Structures are given as structure tokens and as C-alpha cells.
Amino acid sequence: MAKQYITLVASLPYLPPFEKAERSPITRLRLEQRLHILEPEDARQLALAEALVSWRLSLAKPKTDKEMVLRCRAALQEINQPALHEFVEFRIDQQTILAALRQRNDQFESSFLEQVTGASRWAGFIASHWDSPDFQLATVYPWIPEARSYIEANDASGLDRLMMRIIWQRLSRIAEGNRFGFEAVFAFVFKWDILQAWLARDAEKAKSRFQELIKEVKHDS
Amino acid sequence: MEPLILALGWVGLYAPLALGAVGSMVGCARAGSAACGALLEVEGGYGRYIGVAAMPSSQTIYGIVVTMALRRELNLDNSPGIFGLGVLAGLALMLSAFAQGSACAASINVSKSKLEVFGISLAPAALVEGFAVFAFVFALVLAAGIPK
């Protein structure tokens, strides 16, 4: 029988759909206090997944594709909770597809996919269908045509909204599978992360952050 | 063979109470865990959550009544009937308490964020209670037909 976290799930507030939310119903500090109920192994797996696929990756994120692939491989080997493993794989695939769409839109070749082959199961498939508009993956991922149209239109905000909506829906389905289990807990954490990112959108801050990144890249090179 | 039949009679006699109690323990624990979690999130009205958490305890009461209705001097004529009736009634009570505990936990979980659905969210738990009552009443009716 799957582990139950009835008290923990019941202690978490209702999360409104991110597009309608006006404020976050719980702070990170309070959320972490509640998450102390998690068993150590589950907490560790959640932390691994968060470090890899949360919407707002920490500043200590890997600087190269190779480093990222190594981190993905190591984490996927350790994340053995089936629903969490599947979600992490889904996010890695999603990020790989988006990266491929961006690279192709910028007239780059598919060579970068060789480096990420170990992380996403679709890397080789995308490379061999590079000239197909949706990499022949639209039946598996019906959002690809819409994402491609946003990338072609340089609409980063629309793309973000689409990706957030897709992840949100997937997390809702995962939580419905076990309403009081670990699935519901990690779905809440990742949905909360999306909600925070949505509420924190700020054009001015984004501009200064972008400038910081540019400086960082220049400094590195 | 005779001691075995008599032993089964004893099992059937105590099964409604024992299985009903097991169900109530698990059901109340599930609903109670949800109530404890909800207490962290709500500002008041704690009593209603604890009250809902106690709903699965009724199966133990039904079990006690069925056990009392089946109670008689056991012999080879009535032991098989008591075994069948008692075990099946006990199983029905136990499983209904499990299900009711889950339904109560779900009710507590949704009503903590939206108090206006508190009443309607208890409907699934009440339906489960209805099935437990069916099992209870018909166990009493059929118990009357078992030889003394």
C-alpha cells in the first residue's frame, strides 16, 4: 500500500489556478515547516527533483549541457518514486524539446542534442527528425505546435504561460492519482513553485536580471 | 470436526464486533489525521473537524449490537449460521469504516478551504454509513432465523 500523508496534505492550503491567483496562499518558510512531516527519504527525493526541474532553478544551476546531463543522470538514478521519476523525465523531455525548438528557430544545427542524449529519451529522435516542423512528436506532445508558434513570434511570456499550464495540468492529474499520498505532496510543491513564479513576474526585475546574466556570461568568457 | 464447527461459531459470534472495531480504528485514524492537518490551516471551528473524524466509530456500535443479537448457546445446528452471518456482517462493517474514514478525510480536506461545502462534502460519508446500516439491519433480521 502506498504511503499516506493525510495530515500533511490536509494541512496544505488550496492552490487556486495560477492565472487567477492574486497572492500565494502559503509562504516558503511555512511550506517547509509542513514538509518536515515527510519521511527523510521522500524529502530527499523531493529535494533532488526540485533542484533539477523546479520552475525557478537555483543560481547554482549547471553552466554547461554536459554538466546538466550528468546531474540529470545522477538524480534520475536516485529518484525511485515512480510518479516523481516520471514527472522529472517529463520535465527534462519538455526542456529538451523547447531547447531544440529554440535552437532550430535560431538557425542552429542539431549537434547540441548529442550532448543531451543521456538525459532525454527523445534527443536522438529529435536529431533524426530535425527538419520536421514538430520533430514528429506532436502526437506525443500536442503542445509542440503552439510552443513553436510562440518561439517563432518571440513571445516568451506566452510560451511561459503555455508551459506552466501544461505542467500544472499534469501535476493535477498526478495528485488525483493518490490524493493523500506522496504524489499529492510533490504535486503541491511544484504547483506552488509555478504559482510563485507567475506572481513574481516583473518586467523591470526581469530586465535587471537579464543584464546580470549578460555580465555573468561576459565575465565567464 | 465438531470442535472445529463450534470454533467457527465463536469466530462468527465475535467477528462483527472485532472487525467493526478494526474498521473504526483505521477509519477514525484516517479522518483524524486529516482533521489534525486541517487544524493547522483553519482559524476556528475545530470541533466540526474532530466531530467528522469520529463518524467511522458507529461501525463498532453496530458490531456490538450484531454480536449481542447472535449471542446464544453454540451448538452444531447454529454455529455454521452464526459463522456466515457474523463474518460477513463484520467484513461489511470493517470495509465501510475504512471507506468512511477516507470519505471523511476528503471532506475535511476540501471544507477547510471552502467552508460552505462542509455539509455537502459529507454526503459521500453519509452514503457509506447508509450501506453499513443496511448490513447491520439485515444481520439483525437474519439473526432471528438462526436456531437457538
The beta-carbon neighbor of A11 closest among B40, B106, B114 is: B40
Q: What dihedral angle (degrees, nearest 10) is formed by the CA atoms of A158, A159, A163, A168?
A: -10
Give the mutation candidate from A4, A9, A11, A37 for the B interface (greatest B CB count, under 10 A): A11
Is residue B118 helix, strand or coil? helix
Distance in angstroms (rounded) separating the CA atoms of residues A20 and A195: 10
Interface of A with B in 176-215 (CB under 8 A): 179-180
Q: Are the CB atoms for A167 and A190 separated by under 8 Å?
A: yes
C-alpha torsion sign, points B91, B93, B95, B97: negative
- Digit-coded pLDDT (tens) for A127-167: 888 888 889 999 999 999 999 999 999 998 899 999 999 99
Give the mutation candidate from B113, B114, B115 for the A interface (greatest A CB count, under 10 A): B113
Distance in angstroms (rounded) separating the CA atoms of residues B133 and B12: 19
The CA-atom distances, in angstroms, between A57 and each of A48, A49, A80, B121 are 12, 11, 21, 38
Say if the Cβ atoms of A8 and B108 lie within 8 Å.
Answer: no
For cell 516558503, what's the residue? Answer: A28
* ipTM score assigned to the predicted complex: 0.80
Distance from CA of B132 to the nearest CA of A (A): 24
Fold of the B2-143 domain: Four Helix Bundle (Hemerythrin (Met), subunit A) (1.20.120)
Which pLDDT value is given to residue A220? Answer: 66
DSSP state of A4: B
Which chain B residues have a beta carbon less than 8 Å from that of A14? 113-114
* Partner B contacted by A34 (CB < 8 A): yes
Q: What are phi and psi of A40, to 5 degrees?
A: -50, -40
Distance from CA of A179 to the nearest CA of B (A): 8
Say if the Cβ atoms of A11 and B30 lie within 8 Å.
Answer: no
- Digit-coded pLDDT (tens) for B1-24: 889 999 999 999 999 999 999 999
* Partner B contacted by A1 (CB < 8 A): no
Instruction: Give the count of Cβ contacts less than 8 A between chain A and B.
Output: 43
The predicted model gives A185-192 an average pLDDT of: 96
Give the distance, in angstroms, between the CA of residue B104 and the centroid of all CA atoms in the same chain.
13
Beta carbons within 8 Å of A91's beta carbon, 6+ residues apart: A52, A53, A167
Which pLDDT value is given to residue A57? Answer: 63
Which pLDDT value is given to residue A118? Answer: 66
